[in-house]
Every structure is written in structure tokens, then in C-alpha cells.
Structure 1
């Protein structure tokens, strides 16, 4: 009788609902009893609470051969259950289960129809549908939540506030739930900037920063945020990582966010300008001044704050101040937003614009004896002399064979990254010494992973 198979029973089952091997069938009998105890239909054994039973069920679900069986067991027990409060606990478990593990392709159509049919009368059926769609798209949450998060979920209190740090010191607050992934939050941030095209959304990334910058890495789009943002010393930062989509200045948040990111890189010396380029430095200083809606004549101290810190002792301050005055008169009438757009456009003409740039202290190339700039995008890794702005090396990411973190050569010195690249016939090796070696490793792998042209990952150790 098919109907009785998918109908609540008050008695534990003696064998699996599906045709399984004897060993797996015994586990199925145990899972059904754990489910009944969790729902309140059987008494809990001494020393076990609802959290113990919940973890027991989810751990059983880690065995792929049991998943369809447990899905069928839950569907059976919430169908025609006489006690609403017990039935709700079964639905809560189903809502949790759909966020972790997908059923087989064979069971999926049946489960989907069951949830759709139950949706009008059962709110947890609708949340189960949403969780299942996420699991199909992103693979399901792999790490078990801590008990506090699990208890909050069962009480219907799964929403938590998340703070995202944007360029320019701006904080964005959003709500996330048990199964929210990085891609969803990044899409939300992009909508605030008027960005809806999937290709452009993918040019942004959330970076996780932990232990006072000891760990910095971009989050993969499918990472579940509640699995990574678990400690007090973790923060999330959004920034643009690729710059392949043409710039468009049709949204004020877009303009201010891009301006802040580009300005930070410029002032940190990551978008180098020659110390002798007085006219260029003066124009960039004038645009920064106007972007603050500041109409006062800038002081000498103001001027230095508008110059990259590496150049502040090298520039001709008097010459730049004079040229800046001329620029401010020429730009009279520019709004702060127009000044920001002009600044971004000026930056976009610099050779390292569009790259994520790292300051390298030493590199294993005789031609580059001092500090060097390393630029990284989805296609290449390049090395540039910051003084002459000469390009010394260009390595295609698709040619990378192995990335290897190196321990510091000296006590309290910076770590390094060794890169093996090239072909089997012509293998090449280069190493870089820089404080952000681990971040460089993670970001390189992230860019390789997001590039459609790369079919193989380099080995990492």
C-alpha cells in the first residue's frame, strides 16, 4: 500500500522504507528512531537532548546512500501527523536537511513536488524549497553549525546581522540566514551600485580578514557565510577584483565605491606615478580636493595628503602646489561626483590599473634588486619596477604548475611564495618575498578558479 508508506506512523519501523543493503537498512532503522525522538514521538534516551539527536541525524545524512531514505522518512512522518507541534519539528528538520544535502536525481522530482504541494499551508515547506534550490546551485553547506546556531534555527531565529566593510571606510549592514552564501551578499552589494549583469557581479569578491590580517583570502561564491564568519576577530571586506567590464558612471554609490578603492590603491603607491610628473600629480591632487566638496585653498599639508606616501619626500611641493592652483581654477564648477569620475578615468590610464597589486620586497630576478610591484589579474601575473614603471616579467596564469608558500628566511622576516610555471619542456621557477604571501596565494587560486579559460588548477602546498 503506497499511501501507508508516506503516511505518519506512531510505531518505529523495522526495516528501511527503500530497498537498501542489510547494513544500511540497520542504519535506516536507527535514523527513523532518532527522528521520532527528535520530533517528540518517542521518549529521548537518558543523557541525550534534542541537539544530540539532531547532530546524530545530520551525521547519518553525511552517508550519501542514506540520504534518500532519511528524506522519505521525514516526508512520511510529517504527512498526516496528528500533533501539530510534533509535526512542526519534523518540518524544521526537513528545512535544515534541504540546506545541507541534496537528494538523488531520482528522488528530486518527488521531493520538489511534495514541497510545492505543501507550500500553501506550511511556511517551513517554502523555506525548504529555498534551501533546496541553494543546495542544488551551491552544493549544500558542508560544515555542521555550532549548537547555538542550531538552537536559533529551531526557534525560527536564524537571521543575524552581518557587517561588510566597503572601500573608503563605509560599512554596509545586511541580514543573513543559516544558508546564505557569499555570492548572494555580493549580488546584493552590486545591486546597491546598480550592477545587475552576472558577468560584472563576478568581478567583485568578498575578502575574509582574520587575526589582524594574519589571514586574508577571497571567499568563493559558494561559501556559506555562517561557516566562515564564526569568530569575533573575523571581518568581511568587499572590493573589485577584476576590471574587464567597461566602467559606467550611472549610479552615485557605484562612483563613490570605485573612487574610494582606486584612491586607496593610488595613495598606497600601487598605481605608480613618476615623482617628476608634476602636472599629473597636481591634477590628481586637485581632483581629490574637489571630490571632498572643499572649495578652500589647499595648504601644504593638504597637498602632501593627496600624494602617494612613497613620493612625498621626492616631489617638488612648490611646483605641484602652483600647478594644482591652476587646475582648481580650470576645474571650477566641477561637482564632487564629477571630480571623482575624472579621477577614476585618470587612474584607468595608468599601466597597473585593473590589477590587484602587491608590494614585493625581494624577487628572484637579478634585474629587480629592490622593492617591486606585482600585478595580478585573471590572465597574468606581472612584475613592474615602481620607479621606472618598466615591465620585467609577465606570466600567464594558465601556465602555473605549482604554488608553494615559503617560510621566512630570517626571524620576523616576511614569508615568500614560490611559483613554478611554464611547460614540461621548459619549466620555470620564480619566488617573491612579501608580507602578503598567503593572500597572494589564495587570490591567485581564486582568479584561476574564476577564469573560464583555465581548466586545471596548479598544485598548492
Structure 2
């Protein structure tokens, strides 16, 4: 609040961390924080100090409520100062925090920045796979599931099911838990990244830039054409890179048809661009198929397919691409190249695909299926920074599949999410049957 000189310069976030960090962990400290802020604002003639105090109290009321014994005093304090700009908002936040679970971590930078600008509204940029972004209002008590619903509604999606919020840092892309508070999740990820970076760089202040993405995570009930907005913003841009990396098995005819569609998406109906096809092949043909024909043969065949699609718009071409790839069993899969150490008959490097059906292991070059493991056959799984392990079949007598990978956390999270979804569906069916039989 600026009433006492400080020995060293500290950022606003460092100060709010010192004030609220311990109280988010230990409930016994919460009343003390409320008392200290209110006491320092009472009979304080320094206007600057009082303004800082209101900002702190505003943050405090959104994090956790005081105990029942202090609640009436806090409410009376706020009600007796209704002329103050933030008093009514603090009171409202206090009532809200009484009804909800307390926050687990101190305020995020965005919350501190907002209230320092005397703004009680907090906005955050959300990025989408089609290289667009939008600003969304996010409150102190906004949970991930609320934000998913808000985004889905604003984008006019047919359903929010299967979508998730992801945070991308310099070295990881992490999916956020639906039930967590948005700002708690951000703090947890950026704090963890800061700690890891500080250890790596040998101490000192660390800045961790991050981006928040909204993407499809679980690919079930995805039928191209059913939700045009979801196809345009998510399904097409999320599926295209997998196709170009050569993860799918497809016929030459399908590849030529898709190459012509992708060319149309790039240039629309501009036939003057046909001469550019040889230079654009990496953006039109799967990486492992580029040498299947010469550049001129590719060009000739793609032009022929392009002419057959005459009159098609860019959006229709995107929809046509999805209608082809959705027929393949690998549509909607998440792919991971890992080093396996448990199956002597498999190559050292295998490609694992996680889909709504379960987990499939492929030969990375021939794309032959080496093994299929439906979710109900996977007894357990675990991951660390360098591995992913799972047990197939019986937990005691089952076979173990061991992998070396830095993306184990992603595989773990995806399998957990699919299994959780199926268990939720199972419980819903059982509940309906129970009601029907009563």
C-alpha cells in the first residue's frame, strides 16, 4: 500500500504473492489478511494508500472468504464505505466466494494488472487452430468448463463436448482440467515453467510467455458437415497437419483428390497459380509420399483433379477434405512417435495413435498395425518427463508396454480424458435405466 518503505524493488505480483500465497494454502491465515488490510485502510489519510488497499481487498474477496466470526465485520466494513468505487464490487465478490470453493493459488498477473488499472473486468486472448483469436471476459471465479461453454456459445458451435482449453509454453502444450479455476490453472502452469527455467538457467528473474488455445481434444461424434463452424475453425486446421505428416494410410486416388482440394484452398480458383504446384507439393502431399512421383507427374495429376472440382469454393474444399479423411480409421487420432523397450518383435521406434476406440501401435514406415488396445483392455497407465508405461489386460498378470518419450504427459492425459468420458456415459445410462425400472 506504500505506507512503509521497502528495501528492494519488487513487482506487484511478487508483493501479492507474499500477501496471499500463504493464505491460499493455510485457511488459518485468511482472517489475518482481511484484518490487516481493513486495519491499514481505517483512519488512513493517504489517498494513494487507501486506493491500493481497496485493490488488495478486491483481490482478497475473490480468492477466499473470511471465517464466519469475521464475516459480519467484513460486510459491515464494506457496507459502511459504499461511496468507495470498489466497495460494492468487493461485497459482491465476497458473497460469491462464500458460495464457491476457495482459490488454490494467489492472483494471476492478469488479475493484478486489471485491478491496478481500476478495471473490475478481466479479459484474456484465446487462440484458435485456424490462426484466429478472440478476447473473452474471464472472472476470478471462472472455471475452465464455464469458459469452454462461453467460447462455444460465442462461436455458435453445435456442442461444447470434446473441446478443451490448452496452455502453450516454450516447451509444453498442456490441457486444463475442466473443474479447475482458469486463473489457478494458468498460475500452476506458468509457476511450474518458471521454476523449471530458473533451475535450468541458474536463478534470476524469469519470464514465461504463454498462449491460451481452444481446440478439439476428444474426437467422438465428429461428422463433417454437421457443424460447419466447428469444421472451419477446428476440424480442418487440426486434421490437416496430421495428413501432411503422413500419418494416414490412403490410396493414390485419394491423395490426388486431396492435393487438388488443398491447392484450391490456397489459391481459390486462380488457374494462373497452377505453375506453382511443384513448389507447393509439401503443402499438398503427405511427406512420405513426395517421392512417389516426379514433380511434373504430381503437377499433371493434381491439375487433372483440380479441373474436375471446377466451381468449388474454398469452404466447400475444406468440407470435402474432411469428408475424405473421416472415412479412415485414423481420423481424429493423436499420434506419438516413441521408443519402445518391451516388445522384441516391434521396431525400436513405433507410432502410437490414441483415438476414441483406444490405443493403436503402428509401424512408423509401413504404417502396419502392430497392436490394438481398446480402453477396456488397458488396466493402468502412468507417465513421467521421459516415459509412458501401461499395463495391458490383467493388472497382476497383464503385459507391460514401456516407452521412452517426452510426451508421456500428453498420452496420459488423453487416455484419462477418453476413459473418464466413457465412464461418465456409462453412469448416465445406468441412471436412466434405474429411473426407467423404478
TM-score by length of structure 1 reads 0.67
| Equivalent in 200, 217, 230 of residue 241 of structure 1 | 217
Aligned to 1:307: 285
* Alignment pair present for 1:432 and 2:406: no
Q: Deviations over 1:337-382 (max 9, x none)?
A: 1111111121111111122222234463344326433122466222
Residue 397 of structure 1: how far off its partner (Å):
6.6
1:209 aligns with 2:168: yes
Deviation at 1:266, TM superposition (A): 0.9
1:101 paired to 2:79: no
3-state SS of paired residue (1:312): helix
1:404-419 matches, within 5 Å, as: 404-405=383-384, 415-419=386-390
Provide the residue aligned with 2:362 in structure 1.
Answer: 384
Give the 5 Å matches for 1:162-311.
162-174=124-136, 182-195=144-157, 197-198=159-160, 200=161, 203-211=162-170, 213=171, 215-221=172-178, 222=180, 223-224=182-183, 226-227=186-187, 228-229=189-190, 231-247=207-223, 248=225, 250-252=227-229, 254-270=231-247, 272-274=248-250, 277-292=251-266, 293-296=268-271, 297=274, 299-311=277-289
- Distance, in Å, in 2 between the alignment partners of 1:398 and 1:77 is 61
Residue 122 of structure 1, CA deviation: 6.0
**Cα shift readout 1:366-422 (whole Å, capped 9, x = no counterpart):** 44326433122466222233535436121417844341437xxxxxxxx43222344
- Name the CA distance, whole Å, in 2 between partners of 1:113 and 1:342: 64
SS at match of 1:383: strand
Q: CA RMSD in A?
A: 4.8
Partner of 2:323: 345
CA distance in 1, matches of 2:351, 2:210: 28
The 3 A distance-change label for structure 1 pair 136 and 362 is farther
Q: Could you tell me which residue of structure 1 aligns to residue 103 of structure 2?
A: 141
Q: State the Cα distance separating 1:278 from its structure 2 match.
A: 1.4
Between the aligned partners of 1:120 and 1:427, the Cα distance in structure 2 is 68
User: Which residue pairs with 2:88 in the alignment?
Assistant: 125
Pair 1:384–1:176, CA change in 2 (3 A): same
CA–CA separation in structure 2 for the residues paired with 1:89 and 1:249: 52
Is the Cα–Cα contact under 8 Å of residues 59 and 107 in structure 2 kept in the other structure?
no
Long gaps (5+) in structure 1: 1-37, 407-414, 456-461
Counterpart pick for 2:375 among 396, 400, 405: 396
1:331 alignment partner, one of 285, 291, 309: 309
Q: Does the 8 A contact of 2:58 with 2:86 survive in 1?
A: no
Cα–Cα, structure 1 residues 314 and 377, in superposed 2: closer, same or farther, change >3 Å? same
Q: 1:70 to 1:418 in 2, by over 3 A?
A: same
Residue 198 of structure 2 corresponds to none
CA distance in 2 between counterparts of 1:98 and 1:52 reads 17
Contact in 1 for aligned 2:383/2:389 (Cα 8 Å): yes
- TM-score of the aligned structures, taking structure 2 as reference length: 0.69
The Cα of 1:309 is off from its aligned counterpart by: 0.8
- CA shift for structure 1 position 428: 2.4
The match for 2:429 is none
Question: What is the CA distance between 1:283 and its match in structure 2?
Answer: 1.0
What runs of 5+ residues in structure 2 fail to find an aligned partner? 192-206, 427-438
* TM-aligned CA distance change 1:114 to 1:333, over 3 Å: farther
Distance 1:423 1:239, change over 3 A: same
Change (3 A) 1:368 1:111: farther
Between the aligned partners of 2:407 and 2:357, the Cα distance in structure 1 is 20
Contact 1:180 1:226 in 2 (8 A): no
Structure 1 CA distance for aligned equivalents of residues 110 and 255 of structure 2: 54
SS in 1 for 2:241: helix
